[in-house]
């Protein structure tokens, strides 16, 4: 081997090493941005890596999608997933399906989210953790649609089914929502509409304020202070009508709290998934249940 060949090989290896070093530096920057909570900037860096390394585009593209959703940015996600699905392997396609469901859920499109979660649940290649996540999210979607039997069916498809979630769902089914119209009717007597829905502090405040205004109306009428009487009466009408509408709103709030408590038991806030950053550019997720 002559000296020119040796020089050419040396230059080739130097270029490859420099390229690898640049890629590692860019990947480290993207990971650091993600760890610091600058999810938008991390998503941009991962997109840039996907364009620079076409053979690793699926992994970096999914990393970008992950960071966008961490930042609750849903608009760029469908386009990125379209690009990933064109050339991705089966694992990346399953992960892409997972992120389509998550994007729809965060965008508050429950029907679309339910469609993708069910596809994920029925896909033979779906890993167990993905199935468990999909089953719980489907149960929450059905719960919020008041389809509690279907919610239970999905929850039983978790591996294993969460006992706390099943207990909460059974308790929810056995309980009763408050009736907003009844709350409003009870609000005709200040405070009772709030008491009906368990808002005792609001009920007591309503009684006190209405009593004070009624006392003021009587006192000003006895003293023939009709100007003051008119002002106090105006405010009393406002507070009295507030007692009626407050009884309606309190019933709605009670029903929402009841449903939210059940949903949190099915899919508690502490359950989450994280990107396995050391594995990049191979993309994988770690779930915590």
Computed over its alpha carbons, how large is the radius of gyration of the chain?
29
The pLDDT of residue 167 is 97
pLDDT score, position 224 = 82
Q: Residue 46 pLDDT > 70, yes or no?
A: yes
Other Cβ atoms within 10 Å of 270 Cβ, number: 8
Average pLDDT over residues 76-102: 90
pLDDT score, position 12: 35
Could you report the per-residue pLDDT of 178-227, keeping only the tens digit for each?
Answer: 999 999 999 999 999 999 999 999 999 999 998 888 888 888 888 888 88
Check the CA dihedral 207-212-215-216 and report its sign: negative
Q: Answer left, alpha or beta for residue 37, where phi above 0 means left and psi between -120 and 50 means alpha.
A: left
Q: What is the pLDDT of residues 119-128, one digit of tens each?
A: 999 988 899 9
């Amino acid at each position: 081997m002559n000296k020119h060949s040796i020089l050419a090989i040396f230059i080739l290896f130097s270029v490859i090493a420099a390229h690898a070093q640049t890629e590692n530096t860019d990947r480290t920057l993207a990971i650091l941005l993600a760890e610091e909570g600058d999810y938008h900037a991390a998503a941009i860096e991962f997109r840039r890596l996907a364009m620079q390394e076409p053979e690793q585009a699926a992994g970096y593209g999914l990393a970008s999608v992950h960071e966008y959703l961490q930042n609750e940015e849903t608009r760029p996600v469908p386009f990125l997933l379209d690009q990933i699905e064109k050339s991705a392997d089966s694992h990346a396609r399953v992960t892409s399906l997972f992120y389509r469901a998550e994007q729809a859920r965060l965008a508050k499109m429950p029907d679309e989210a339910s469609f993708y979660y069910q596809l994920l649940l029925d896909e033979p290649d779906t890993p167990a953790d993905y199935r468990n996540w999909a089953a719980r999210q489907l149960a929450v979607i059905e719960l919020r649609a008041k389809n509690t039997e279907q919610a239970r069916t999905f929850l039983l498809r978790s591996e294993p089914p969460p006992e706390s979630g099943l207990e909460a769902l059974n308790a929810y089914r056995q309980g009763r929502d408050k009736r907003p119209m009844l709350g409003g009717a009870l609000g005709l007597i200040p405070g009772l509409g709030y008491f009906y829905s368990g808002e005792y502090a609001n009920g007591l405040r309503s009684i006190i304020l209405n009593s004070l205004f009624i006392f003021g109306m009587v006192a000003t009428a006895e003293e023939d202070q009709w100007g003051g009487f008119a002002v106090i009466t105006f405010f009393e009408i406002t507070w009295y009508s507030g007692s009626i509408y407050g009884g309606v709103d309190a019933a709605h709030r009670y029903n929402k709290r009841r449903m939210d408590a059940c949903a949190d038991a099915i899919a508690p806030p502490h359950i989450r998934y994280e990107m396995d950053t050391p594995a990049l550019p191979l993309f994988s997720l770690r779930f915590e249940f």
